Amino acid sequence: MIKSDYGHLNCPFYEQKLKSGLKVLFIPMKGKGESAMVYLSQGGYLHDEKIESSKIPFGTAYYLAHMVMDEAFQKSLLQKGAIGSCESDLSYTSFQVTAKKDIFTPLSMLLERLYNMDFSEDELEAMKDTLSPKNDGLNLARKNLLLNLYSSSPIRLGLVPDREQAIPIHVTALRKYLQRYYVPNRVTLILAGDYTPNECMEKIATLRLPKDIVTFSKELSFDEDYSAPVKDYASTAAKDGNYLVYGIKFQPREKLYEKFGQMMFFSYEIFKECLFTKNAAFLSGIRNVDSDLLDVSFHEGGEDGYLLLAIKTKSPVAVLSFLTEYLERIEKRVDRRLFEDVLSEYYASGIGLLRNPVSCVLSFSKAYANNLPYTSLLTLTSKTNFRSFRTFLKDVGTFARSAYYLNKA
């Protein structure tokens, strides 16, 4: 295995690619339990219009992940002294198992499940009733904001389909999606435990991996206008209302990477705090218009990314006026002291995450979506300077924006 060691982080890790195409990322960790993850570099962002001859409905990736890690399988893991969970993001899908020792027993169970996965339509329909998102005002506002922000990119659909959108999802689509993406050359095993690299690889050699089946697909193509939203603003009335959702439509990932390199990914890690959740000027400005900040989130999928602000307010005009002014010179809204404080907090938090096998594996998986080890992100705290970060923010200030207000009827 190839060793990577960032020295002062005290978290060496090892990487190897097998002949099957499967990648392994191993983090030695003594006496703190063990955790393993099956990570797929494919999430809920649609890349395929069709797999084989079948159209793949929106939400297929999300439902497949939860069918794999359903309640019955989680109970079978518990009987072996392990816990299991899954995460379906726009960019990736992951299945994590954790145990006090011998992580390869639950990991083998997970891989066997992927290898022999068998679904029934009845189980899928029951899952749809369980997983359908709440039809509340905030979810409705977010959904409509994305439709106003994007014209054709699949990111406009979000991640989780509502009950009506889930109707076209059938077992055949789940199976074809599994056969295309749940294969060794698209999978990374991320493990943390008390093993040597050689012991780890010897145990991996005994695992039964999913079949590598050749499938054919028709790529989903679209032409998105990144210079403007579909609508600058829209509003409707509902019983559950008074929610304003504000979105910033990021330029394509490749274009930003050409301009900022890896610094762009680290900027994604800290800019929410610098501009919004820890920025006194922003928080006081929201309070001054009698409103409450509910959430700030950033989402990536494919080449696309967007920032969403969710605000509870009865004064949308005042909030929009404040946001327009605040974002006019966005790079001026962060001073050096705030920047350095956020960097210090991010680094300290990251060092803590690396000390626990569960959070360590999770952190590596989230960074892996951008082809970076998590330790690389932490080392960028010492390489990202205030001036370059402000240059990045200045660019963000030119991106297209949209707002959607759900007024309480």
| Domain ranges (residues) in the chain | 2-136+154-219, 233-408
What's the fold here for domain 233-408?
Cytochrome Bc1 Complex; Chain A, domain 1 (3.30.830)
Q: What is the pTM of this model?
A: 0.91
What's the fold here for domain 2-136+154-219?
Cytochrome Bc1 Complex; Chain A, domain 1 (3.30.830)
The confidence score (pLDDT) of residue 143 equals 94
Residue pair 153/306 in contact by the 8 Å Cβ criterion:
no
Q: Which residue has the tokens 């809204």?
A: 333
Tell me if domain 2-136+154-219 and domain 233-408 are identical in fold: yes
Backbone angles phi, psi at 211, to 5 degrees: -65, 145
d(CA 95, CA 178): 14
Q: At what angle do helices 263-272 and 386-396 cross, to 10 degrees?
A: 80
CA 53 to chain centre: 29
Single-letter code of the amino acid located at 275: L
Sign of CA dihedral 75, 80, 82, 84: negative
- Tokens coding 30: 């003594």
Residue pair 261/187 in contact by the 8 Å Cβ criterion:
no
Strands 23-28 and 187-193, bridge-based pairing: parallel
Q: Which residue has the tokens 């006026």?
A: 321
The confidence score (pLDDT) of residue 371 equals 84
pLDDT tens, the chain, 409 aa long: 888 876 668 889 999 999 889 999 999 998 778 999 999 989 999 888 889 888 899 999 999 999 999 999 999 999 999 999 999 999 999 999 999 989 999 999 999 998 888 889 999 999 998 888 877 899 999 999 999 999 999 999 999 999 899 999 999 999 999 888 988 889 999 999 999 999 999 999 999 888 777 888 888 899 999 999 999 999 999 888 899 999 999 999 999 999 999 899 999 999 999 999 999 999 999 999 999 999 999 999 999 999 999 999 999 999 999 999 999 999 999 999 999 999 999 999 999 999 999 999 999 999 988 888 999 889 888 888 999 999 999 999 999 999 999 998 7
Q: Which residue has the tokens 């006194």?
A: 280
Whole-Å CA distances, 123 to 126, 128, 176, 343, 356: 5, 9, 17, 46, 35
